[in-house]
Structure 1
Amino acid sequence: MADEAEIATGLKAAMRRMPAAVALITTLDPEGGEPAGLAASAVIPVSMAPPSMLVAINRNASAHSAIERSGRFCINLLSTQQTALVTLFSSTDMRAQRFADEGWQTHDGLPFLPAACANIFCRVQTTLIHGTHELFIGNVEDVRTSVGDAPLGWLEGGFAALGPLA
């Protein structure tokens, strides 16, 4: 049987083969009223009854505690034209610039990016800590979608366009 480090290495290699949507997870920190966010690909639907989504957030991420405190988050599904935002929301050095531009708006107090492929507004219903991450399951309170550029994906360690084959 392989040890945990070998299994983790194998799992990372396997997950590089699994396409994932790329999203910005945003919230408004009730302590100070500042927006907070991070780039994520660990985002999945949980149920349609009730409509709910799961995001897996590293507990060391800058926005983790803000999501915990606010109890709400918005999943902004990015398009292929928004790759620069992933770098911005992945770099701790650029944290102060994350919401400085790009046409951010608020909906019911949550920051969202209207130019994203979709915005899914959630209220945290359940959490679970597992290893380095906390899973936030949120009931969906509102959804906005747009038509336009292809959704942005992550595959083989790089960006990919997600769309139908033909």
Structure 2
Amino acid sequence: MTDTPELTIRPATEADLPAIVAMLADDPLGATRESPDDLTPYLAALKRLTGDPNQHLVVAVRAGRVVGSLQLTIVSGLSRKGATRSIIEGVRVHADERGSGLGTRFVEWAVEKSRAENCALVQLTSDVTRTDAHRFYERLGFTASHVGFKLQL
């Protein structure tokens, strides 16, 4: 997919799940909602994701080690004259890699992939407590344009 001398971005595989889930759990929010000790639900989700051509779960690998993960979803719609959009979710960078430029490279990859998929816009959400992430996304050109709502089921 995307290679540089020191970094590869490629589709995630089952072998990558322990590293991905560990990164999902490696912050105060993720620690309360992820279960790195039981990969069963993640395996089922990975099968659903890999079976859907509109889902792109990718990992960044450096020196043979998974150091980041991102999910990009392509969504068809009627609004905006039938525009297709993409949604970036689950952006995680291993603690050892933060500040290395990997997060920027990941978002650049997602934007490039979105353009290749003829998306009219790229959107993402970020928890209100993640103020560092908000500044990061704003530096990359994203604007806080909407108020988001969730309903737990």
**If the length of structure 1 is used for normalisation, what is the TM-score?**
0.29
Higher strand share: 1
Higher helix share: 2
Structure with larger RCO (C-alpha < 8 A, sep 6+): 1
**If the length of structure 2 is used for normalisation, what is the TM-score?**
0.30
